[in-house]
Amino acid sequence: MGSNPIPSAISLMPTYYLWNIGCQMNKAESDQLAECLDGVGYRRLARPDDADLVLLNTCVVRGNAEERVRGELSRLKGLKALRPGMSVAVTGCFVGGGLEELRERFPHVDLFFPAGQVALFRDWLSERVATGCHGAGVSLSAGPAAPAAYVPIIRGCNNFCSYCIVPYRRGREISLSPEEVVARVQDLAGRGAREVTLLGQNVNSYGKDLLSRADLTDLLAQVNGVPGIERIRFLTSHPRDVDEKFVDAMARLDRVCKWISLPVQAGDDRVLQAMRRGYTVEEYRRLVKRMRARIPGLALSTDVIVGFPGETEADFGRTVALLSELRFDTVHVAAYSVRPGTLAARTMPDDVLPEQKGRRLQEIEEMQERISAELNSSLVGKRVEVLVERRAKGKWEGRTRTNKLVFFSDAGEWTGRLADVEVTSASPWSLQGKVALRTEVGAR
């Protein structure tokens, strides 16, 4: 009498802990792994200590990311010694080609699987579920989707920028078919997603490996027609592969957000060439100007590496000058980090001192803080459309179509809805506002 069957049923469910670092691609793949585990009845825990399965999704883009991964692996070694029944699976860019070597070096890891190989994990998991390991496996239907979801459209990278480890860890480019992408977007829309970000290391290379030769422009046109999807983004664009047809589509398609991440990496031609980026500063500048002329209100984000081998003060000064001329909405700046196996690691001495790298990084961050503050302040008093993603610390949080983070207070329920918000104040990183219209805006 009075006993509630639910808590005991929950306590019988197998549990998992998922650790994720890295870029949006990793986040998207972690979401797929979590969906897979939730689907066979696993319950997610916030800590690894009591979990039946611990899953690490790793990044090695810079040395400090790799150190975090190694730290996590050694922590789990201790945990597994205490609880031998626990399983450990590791994926992401830490897992390269030599799986045998990894297994030998980390014997406490039960499964290594390369980034994006969700099917491998699914097979491993279904074997364990079938053999009764970690519980019986109750098939559940997929739950609601987040208002803004990620959709990988192309895996791997063919570019081999001289500093970058990604092509060595994620392999060559493989595009999903437009049918697969559209089906995924439709599924997400059916479960409540209103925004999708199409992901790839270079989305503008999408389709080059497909028989149909469908390209990103064709794909955007198809996704633009999916009912329920109000906003489409894509990430990341390689400046060399952005063509006129694509710029036209961006300008024309109403669901496509006027926002692009276009990493420049450096503002000096010699450095760009040593990086093997495939464009000059002038070509990049002209592209940005053409895009801004064709797409009014376009918001731009870029990535920069400081302290690349051989980067002089004068070279660095040209990067600063370019950023100050083009005035990006956001800049992600990183200090160059030697990555084993890359062309730069093999042939170019890491000759910029750590303190010089640190100072250059800080100089760009300070300049960009000023620029972002000025650009964001110009929005005060204006009304912006915000797709609300969550409630955090008593405020609604969402993004504008130009990818600016907005917070506002309101008594209503706004998660997953489009709000018309009047901007009341701005900082370099976000906007604050108040709801201008009580009802949802813009939905079709």
Burial 92-106 (b: 16+ CB within 10 A, else e): bbbbbeeeeebeeeb
Cβ-contact 331, 360 below 8 angstroms: no
336 binds, among ligand SF4, ligand F3S, ligand SAM, none (CB under 5 to 8 A by kind): ligand SAM
Residues 3-32: x where in contact with ligand SAM by CB under 6 A, - otherwise, as a string = --------------------x---------
Specify the DSSP class assigned to residue 203: G
Task: Give phi and psi for 427, each to the nearest 5.
Answer: -130, 175
User: Per residue, what are the HEC states of 13-77?
Assistant: CCEEEEEECCCHHHHHHHHHHHHHHHHCCCEECCCCCCCCEEEEEECCCCHHHHHHHHHHHHHHH
Residue type, 56: L
Binding segment for ligand SF4 among 84-92, 155-163, 321-329, 401-409 (CB under 6 A)?
A: 155-163
Determine if 339 is a binding residue for ligand SF4 (CB under 6 A). Answer: no
Per-residue binder mask for ligand SAM (CB under 6 A), 298-337, x = binder: -----x-x----------------------------x-xx
Give the β-pairing of 195-199 and 231-235: parallel
User: For residues 245 and 110, what is the distance between their CA atoms, to the nearest angstrom?
Assistant: 47
Pick from ligand F3S, ligand SF4, ligand SAM, none: which does 59 bind, CB < 5 to 8 A by kind?
A: ligand F3S
Size of the site for ligand SAM (CB under 6 A): 18
Among the listed ranges 21-29, 62-70, 154-162, 346-354, the one in contact with ligand SF4 (CB under 6 A) is 154-162
Residue 235 engages ligand F3S in binding (rule: CB under 6 A): no
Separation CA 209–CA 205 (nearest Å)? 9
CB closer to ligand SF4 out of 26 and 201: 201
Site for ligand F3S in 340-369 (CB under 6 A): none
Rule CB under 6 A: choose which of 21, 86, 166, 335 binds ligand SF4.
166
Q: Which residues bind ligand SF4 (CB under 6 A)?
A: 157, 159-161, 164, 166-167, 201-202, 238
Q: Which residues bind ligand F3S (CB under 6 A)?
A: 22-23, 25-26, 59-61, 92-93, 166, 170
